[in-house]
Structure 1
Amino acid sequence: MNGTQKGNRKRIQWLAPIAALMLALTACSGGSGGGTTAGTGETGTSENNTETGQLRDVSVVLDWTPNTNHTGLYAAVDQGFYEKEGLNVSILQPGAGGADQMVASGEVPFGVSYQESVTQARVQGVPLVSIAAVIQHNTSGFAAPTDRNIKSPKDFEGKRYGGWGSPVEEAVMQSIMDQEGGDVSKVEKINMGDADFFTAVKRDIDFAWIFYAWTGIEAELRNEPIDMLYVKDYSDSLDYYTPVLVTNEKQISDDPELVRSFMKATAEGYQYAIEHPAEAADILIKAVPDLDPELVKASQEWLSPKYQDDAAQWGWQKPEVWQNYGKWMSSQNLLEGEFDSTKAFTNDYLPAAQ
């Protein structure tokens, strides 16, 4: 199983341990997320240095191994968009604690996360803030080889589901099965461990939760047809933002201009990937040569139009999306406190919002 496929499962899971986040915040109290220089822990100044020719070192940490969710970041580096803003951006893979912990604690100023993770963090007092939706609509869903005859959520009954045992899995499954009179207790749940989707469906399971842009496209390339049930098609509340770009409250308070500069260049990077999917795929392949070039190119072609989709601009986040998903999580007893959606996200640092 490649790292991206493992990341695709982990990103739906209760992705960052909230207790670990709180410990990190305690240990790093007083640390600034606003100007951490890549790999040094040093704090930079809050101004861009384009006039002096000096670039400010800034890091952004990914959620998992690089994939087409991240192409806009790599394009912004490759095309000089960050440099134009006076930034020297390093793209990092997460440490053992995960991207959320690194951003919330101030170890790095920016990272890739998910609405479900940010929502859970906020009710625990973890100061993550979403500053852009990478993809406008949820592209995840339950997938099965076509020979399993899973055409609707009710068909999950009597089948073997491969997952990791998180509460959100059963809650989502139950929500969409309830609409068709299905009974989630009749689904056999199996821990997939590190097995990838294609291995697991041949050996242990009938269906799993995937992101079509990667695993679904890979199924096409392997000529292994699947039936895909997108969760957003069964509930507006499940059409949440995944992934998102995040920072922390202290970063916004201490150095809003860095957030603004980073987001201006990042938006340009994703716009480049929207308008030039083939060239953007080549940028990602060049930056991460271990990736399968055929998969990257096909995935990028499929995903590029979905970055912005029907939004007025790339990155825009709608208040109702945050409100609806928070209410759904509360209704499923997945939150341990009150969720204030207005503090969980902001559009203020997107270029058109300046």
Structure 2
Amino acid sequence: MKKFYLQGLVVVMLMILVLTACGKSDKVKIVLDWTPNTNHTGLYAALDQGYYKDAGLDVEIIQPNESGADTMVASGKVPFGISGQDGLTQARTQNVPVVSIAAIIQHNTSGFAAPASKNIKTPKDYEGKTYGGFGSPFENSVLQAMMEDAKADYSKLKSVSVGDADYFTAIKKDIDFEWIFYAWTGIEAELRKEPLDMLYLKDFNEKLDYYTPVLITNETMIKDNPDTVKAFVAATAKGYKYAIDHPAEAAEILIKAVPDINKDLVRASQKWLSPQYQADAPRWGEQKKTVWDNYANWLTEHKLLEKPLDSDKAFTNQFLPES
């Protein structure tokens, strides 16, 4: 009798272990590219609405360390992250094994912005002005190209690094214009009733209408854990679809997750940005090879790429849900 009892106990314990394993969620981290903002709302929506949990994932959204999101993902410390096509293009040509698996926003919403009071309407007006930058050679090359196309003298533009300084603080000092993302800083200017003159990169040259930001992973994850990647992308896509269809509710989800955030800015930004996530693409996250190649070609033309980009290795649509 004791033998049968022990055998039965073993069977029950095994069943408990199996059921526990089946119900267990994979712990997954995603590292942001910056502090939380409306570029990231779909992630928080997927977390709040249980899309990650339904996909068998226990997701934690974290902030980048000093090395940045690209390095954290490339090294395997974190399986997923937020980056941009600009940084990822440079990384791929240096054999960094990061891959873009979804475009968070379809078109480049960034550009050079100046207070309307400074009367900077065209790149010709950059002559004699001071640009506040973040220290990338790429930004100065874009400015030089824009000014040369406008028959302006690039040598008459002064560029200084402002680091993480607040845009509205910088332009009240010695800075005339900066590179901003309209969905955040531009909308904040609207709320402040401080009108801007904005020159979008995509309006200057279609080759600069690149994807920013993008969702990334590394080659090892794609090779060894494709099911996890697919589940994560599918749940994230549902999160962004929620933010597209329910911008007001999605804004409140972000506010709840990040209580110290500027609530009015989140609500206004989300209303502006939600239609931009998918825009004219057939589905959220879709990426085009022409967009990747055009941008790489522009960098090559301006001697900003040491090696050609193999765009087929830089991005993939294979993990996106069909609709």
Structure 2 residue 55 is the aligned partner of structure 1 residue 85: yes
Q: 2:174 aligns with which of 201, 204, 207?
A: 204
User: What residue number does 1:236 align with?
Assistant: 206
Counterpart in 2 of 1:174?
144
Deviations along 1:243-274, one digit per CA (max 9) or x if unpaired, are 00000111101011111000000000000000
Give the Cα–Cα distance (whole angstroms) in 2 for the partners of residues 180 and 186 of structure 1: 13
Q: CA offset at residue 164 of structure 1?
A: 2.8
Which of 89, 92, 97 is matched with 2:67 structurally?
97
User: Is this contact kept in 2: 1:81–1:265, CA < 8 A?
Assistant: yes
Contact 1:62 1:91 in 2 (8 A): yes
- Cα deviation, 1:116-153, whole Å, max 9, x if unaligned, reads 11100011110100000000000000000111111111
Deviation sequence 1:272-313 (CA, Å, 0-9, x none): 000000000000000000101000000000000000000001
Structure with bigger gyration radius: 2
Q: Is the 8 A contact 2:70 2:98 kept in 1?
A: yes
Q: Please, which moves more after superposition, 334-343 or 65-74?
A: 334-343
- Asked if 1:217 is matched to 2:154, the reply is no
Change in 2 beyond 3 A, CA 1:72/1:206? same
Counting matched residue pairs gives 305
**Quick check: 2:296–2:308 contact (8 Å CA) kept in 1?**
no
Give the aligned partner of residue 287 of structure 1.
Answer: 257
Q: Which residue of 2 aligns with 1:130?
A: 100
CA contact (8 A) 1:132 1:245 kept: yes
- Quick check: which one's helix share is greater? 2
Contact 2:135 2:163 in 1 (8 A): no
Q: 2:293 aligns with which of 320, 323, 337?
A: 323
Is contact 1:176–1:231 with CA below 8 Å preserved after alignment? no
Distance 1:227 1:193 in 2: 22
Structure 1: where are the runs of 5+ without partners? 1-48
Distance in 1 separating the partners of 2:105 and 2:95: 26
Aligned position for 2:240? 270
Of the three residues 87, 90, 99, the one matched with 1:117 is 87
Separation (CA, whole Å) in 2 of partners of 1:332 and 1:115: 17
Q: In structure 2, what is the equivalent of residue 191 of structure 1?
A: 161
Partner residue in 1 for 2:303: 333
Give the CA RMSD over aligned residues: 1.3
> 1:74 matched to which residue of 2?
44
Distance 1:101 1:120 in 2: 12
Does the residue aligned with 1:269 lie in a helix, a strand or coil?
A: helix
**SS of equivalent to 2:87:** helix
Q: Identity of paired residues, percent?
A: 64
Say whether residues 1:345 and 2:301 are aligned partners: no
TM-score of the superposed pair, with normalisation by structure 1: 0.84
CA distance in 2, matches of 1:51, 1:139: 44
Distance 1:199 1:271 in 2: 35
Counterpart of 2:224 in structure 1 is 254
Match status 1:226 vs 2:196: yes
TM-score (norm 2): 0.92
CA contact (8 A) 2:30 2:61 kept: yes
Q: How many angstroms does 1:183 deviate by?
A: 2.1
